[in-house]
Amino acid sequence: MNVTVLAKFVPNPTGTPSLGPDNLLIRDAGDGALDPGDEYGLELALQLVEAGGGEVTVVSMGPAEALAGVQRGLAMGAHRGVLVTDASLRGADALVTARVLAAAVGRIDYDLVIAGVESTDGYTGTMPATLAELLGVAAVTAVRKLEPDGDDFRAERQTESGYDVLTAPKPALITVTAGATQPRYPSLKGIMAAKSKPVETVSAADLGVSDLTPTQTVAAVTDAPAKAGGEIVTGDDAVARIADLLADAKVI
């Protein structure tokens, strides 16, 4: 079984991101990393291939720095990578991204495409459903468990009140929830091996995607009104202060 994993390179996932003068997120500050939300899917892909054979391909779209994210996937054990990088893709919205990724993913033989539920920087969470429709494959989002079942996949999908089980014929696309797997750390051997694994770098034009005009543009960015300063307490009266607040709010 061949699995393609979509991997996004995001600005420092644990830090505070910032905007550049063009009101776009600064993506090349040197502190970026593979989106932690994508590592769960990578781990799932590696487990599926280890159990059933085949290859894992990591596909990423981003600035040249995003190569580091692809390499992280290769160091974890993926077999090869594709990086779509193109200055004209800066500021791409979810539709442009889905079109570019559809072209990139469509060139590779796959039984399964795995993405995160949403990215850690944009939180849009719609691109995978758009991509699946463009690819013409069934999609199951918010998957917490997946098993191959003959010509189908059997997936547990997180719902508001519990979970549903869905079946989807191969090939399919899923998004994987954070916590679905325990992502492995790249071993030293894996990091060394990653350096000799094939990574193809392509532009939007190479993929034959020409309409890159975003349909959303930032009109204005303003600071949200600052919240009135709260109070910090450390002493023995903390408990009484919380109880006072609860009483003041008339909830006790």
Partner 1 sequence: MGATWVYAEVTPDGAHPSALELLTKARGLGGEVAAVALGPGASSTAKELGEHGATMVYASDDQAFADRPGRTAAHTLHALAGQHSPSLILFPGTYEGRDVAGCLQALTGSTLMANATDVESSSRARTEILGGTKIVDVNLAGPEPRLVLVRPKSFPPEPSGGTAEVVAVDAVTPPGATATVVERHAEAASGPKLEEANVVIAGGRGLGGPEPFAMLDDLAAAIGGAAVGASRAAVDAGWVPYAYQVGQTGKTVKPDVYIAAGISGALQHVVGMKGAKRIVAINKDADAPILKIADLGVVGDLFQIVPALTEEVRRRASS
Q: Are strands 33-34 and 9-10 parallel, antiparallel or unpaired?
A: antiparallel
Among residues 58, 141, 207, 209, the one that binds partner 1 under rule CB under 8 A: 141
Minimum distance, C-beta of residue 216 to partner 1, in the bound complex (Å): 5
Among residues 64, 192, 205, 218, the one that binds partner 1 under rule CB under 8 A: 218
Sorted by sequence, the CB contacts under 8 Å of residue 122 that are 6+ apart come out as: 94
- How many Cβ atoms from other residues are within 10 Å of residue 234's Cβ? 6
By CB under 8 A, tell whether 209 contacts partner 1: no
By CB under 8 A, tell whether 222 contacts partner 1: yes
By CB under 8 A, tell whether 151 contacts partner 1: no
Among residues 87, 179, 188, 189, the one that binds partner 1 under rule CB under 8 A: 179
Count the alpha carbons within 13 Å of 165 in the hemisphere toward its beta carbon: 6
By CB under 8 A, tell whether 201 contacts partner 1: no
Among residues 30, 185, 188, 227, the one that binds partner 1 under rule CB under 8 A: 227
Is the alpha carbon torsion for 10, 116, 90, 199 positive or negative?
A: positive
Residues found in the chain:
252
By CB under 8 A, tell whether 168 contacts partner 1: yes
Using the rule CB under 8 A, give the single segment among 52-60, 77-85, 106-114, 130-138 that binds partner 1: 130-138
Minimum distance, C-beta of residue 55 to partner 1, in the bound complex (Å): 23
Is the alpha carbon torsion for 20, 21, 23, 24 positive or negative?
A: negative
